[in-house]
Amino acid sequence: MNYTKTAILLAALTGLFLAIGYALGGEGGMMIAFVVAAATNLFAYWNADKMVLSMYGAREAGPAEAPELHRIVAGLAANAGVPMPKVYLIDDPQPNAFATGRNPENAAVAATRGLLEMLDAREVAAVMAHELAHVKNRDTLTMTVTATIAGAIGMLAQFAFFFSGSNNRERGGLGPIGTLALMILAPLAASLVQMAISRSREYEADRVGGEISGDPLALASALEKIAHGVARMPSETAERNPATAHMFIMNPLTGEGADNLFSTHPNPANRIAALVEQARMMGGARAGARTSVPRAGTRPRGPWG
């Protein structure tokens, strides 16, 4: 269902770009904005993993430093049918995690100190399964395409007065007020669709992560703990870099919780309810659980575990 929703939202975003681009800048302005946005986001697609890991001070942790976490991730990667990603640790008290990398062959998963200290090993495994679901689903590519189109719409809005004046007058077009309205509303509409796609990918990663670990209730328990932890422990780095918020399993920014138009993440309560239903459909919390999932109550061995 979420794959279909993502496809529909991407189609809507593309249609919005074409309609606004033609209205504001004609074919020429539309193509210029798209090329510039594509070039910018293509650079980000190839380099975003290094940039965001560096931004959060993440350091790669080998099997000797975090043996249990490596074992968990390796087992889950085998379950998911993806290559073993690199494992990174972030010295941040806020419990959170994210995945990055342009494809499954160049992926990395990162966990904060707060996550490893707060969750037991079973919950950590469920969170890593969620992140591997993003890798498996190639959500980095999806969000790059989304960012490209949304960025092109934003550029069209900025270039509106340069591109639209003569073309619109020749066609009896929008006029100054209409152009100004589109300059304001077009980027807003694009951002809303972009956020909706991000929320859709989170629901899908929860579902696929539950299948990878075989333990949806562990992810539900982890999300509840993470939500409380995020509310109590702001991340200074995330607050300085709000554009990275969509990457995390839980929005790291303070004051973000509601499942509304302006949220990059679904409401935790809605995600938990969906996971509880998934567990029921699977026949219980541990139905189908893989051997890579630790027992409840155990803790990862290694730094902060």
How many residues belong to the chain?
Answer: 305
Torsion of CA 224, 226, 231, 236, to 10 degrees: -170
* CB-based burial, 82-115: b 16+ in 10 Å, e otherwise: bebbbbbbbebebbbbbbbbbebeebbbbbbbbb
Write down the catalytic residue from 27, 68, 123, 131: 131
Q: CA 60, 64, 68, 70: dihedral to nearest 10 degrees? A: 40
Check if 131 is active-site. Answer: yes
Q: What is the dihedral of CA 99, 102, 107, 108, to 10 degrees?
A: -40
For the stretch 10-16, contacts whose Cβ atoms lie closer than 8 Å and that sit 24 or more positions apart, written own/partner, are 10/142, 10/145, 10/146, 10/149, 10/197, 12/193, 13/146, 13/149, 13/150, 13/153, 13/190, 13/193, 13/194, 13/197, 14/149, 16/153, 16/186, 16/189, 16/190, 16/193
Amino acid at 269: A
Nearest-10 Cα torsion for 160, 162, 163, 165: 90
Between CA 115 and CA 250 the distance in angstroms is 11
Q: What residues are labeled active site?
A: 131
